[in-house]
Structure 1
Amino acid sequence: MFRYKQVMVIRKDLKLSKGKMAVQVAHGAVTAALKVQKEKPEWFKAWFHEGQKKVVVKAENERELFELKAHAEKLGIPTALIRDAGLTEIPPGTITCLAVGPAPEELVDKVTGHLKLV
């Protein structure tokens, strides 16, 4: 049974290739996990030791990512926005992904529970 999870929210409107999407999600997972390790070490330890549950969902666009980010931060959940370097498929600085948590599952679900899986 998982009590903590991390959710990566990827933008649908960018129509990223599967490989590009995987890399952006990986950037988000690592960046947010390190942030949580520093800011909420008890959350990080619990999440890490119970198996590091991760879920990937989709948002419509950049605006929705910012709305989700604000909601998460209002609840005290660390987040990470990922901006692409622009070396392959999309322009430099494009925001591709929002990572939420790892954090207690019931908090994360208040932010991302309504989103569909990728």
Structure 2
Amino acid sequence: MDYISFFSGIGCGVCLSISLLALKKYFGGVKEAAKTIKKFASNAEYKLVLVVRTDLGMSKGKIGAQCGHAAVGAYEKALKKDPEGLKTWQLTGQAKVALKTDSVEEIKQIADNAKKMGLITSMIRDAGRTQIAPNSITVLGVGPAPKDIVDKVTGHLKLL
């Protein structure tokens, strides 16, 4: 009967080792895991806001495509500029909110304010192959970043 306990112990040790290696790979090490856990303890909600220009008369499909461009652009910038914040956003549900504005001036002002606050922005300009004039600003991505900071530059806008 002792050999059953011995092999059970070895099996548990192997499973624990594999689990720790997977966690290390996923979190980038114990220190990184501790940082991530610490962030969750701060209850910081992260989100990505997509500010859509409604004055252009884009179809729903066009808006969806432009929002996709903005989300991918924001993700790529966050990967380089704020990988820790990006990971927090990914691990907390990847919240995305679409808001609307009806002027190019306002979308530019929001982008300027966001940049001044150190937020990631992704300004999308259309190529002009379908519905929109070439080089038209269609969507602005702001974040991902803590919700309270993003709200300082986009909190006045209404949902799309």
TM-score band (shorter)? over 0.9
**CA distance, structure 1, for counterparts of residue 44 and residue 69 of structure 2:** 23
If asked which structure has higher relative contact order (CA below 8 Å, sep 6+), I would say 1
Given that 1:2 and 1:50 are in contact with CA atoms closer than 8 Å, whether structure 2 keeps it comes out as no
Equivalent residue for 1:15? 57
Return the TM-score normalized by structure 2: 0.71
CA distance in 1, matches of 2:61, 2:130: 11
**Which consecutive residues of structure 1, in runs of 5 or more, have no partner in the other structure?**
none
Larger radius of gyration: 2
Does the 8 Å contact 2:51/2:101 carry over to 1?
Answer: yes
| 1:48 to 2:81 alignment | no
Aligned residues: 118
SS of 2:80 mapped into structure 1: helix
Counterpart amino acid of residue 11 in structure 1: R
* Gapped regions of structure 2 (runs ≥ 5): 1-42
Between structures 1 and 2, the one with greater strand share: 1
More helix by share: 2
User: What's the % identity of the aligned pairs?
Assistant: 49
User: How many Å separate the matches in 2 of 1:96 and 1:28?
Assistant: 9
Supply the distance in 2 between the matched residues of 1:52 and 1:58 (Cα, whole angstroms).
Answer: 20
| Cross-structure match for 2:103 | 61
Cα distance in 2 for partners of 1:33, 1:2 equals 19
In 2, the alpha carbon distance for the partners of 1:82 and 1:40 equals: 20
Distance 2:107 2:152 in 1: 14
SS in 1 for 2:158: coil
Residues 117 and 2 of structure 1: is their aligned pair in 2 closer, same or farther, counting only changes over 3 Å?
Answer: farther
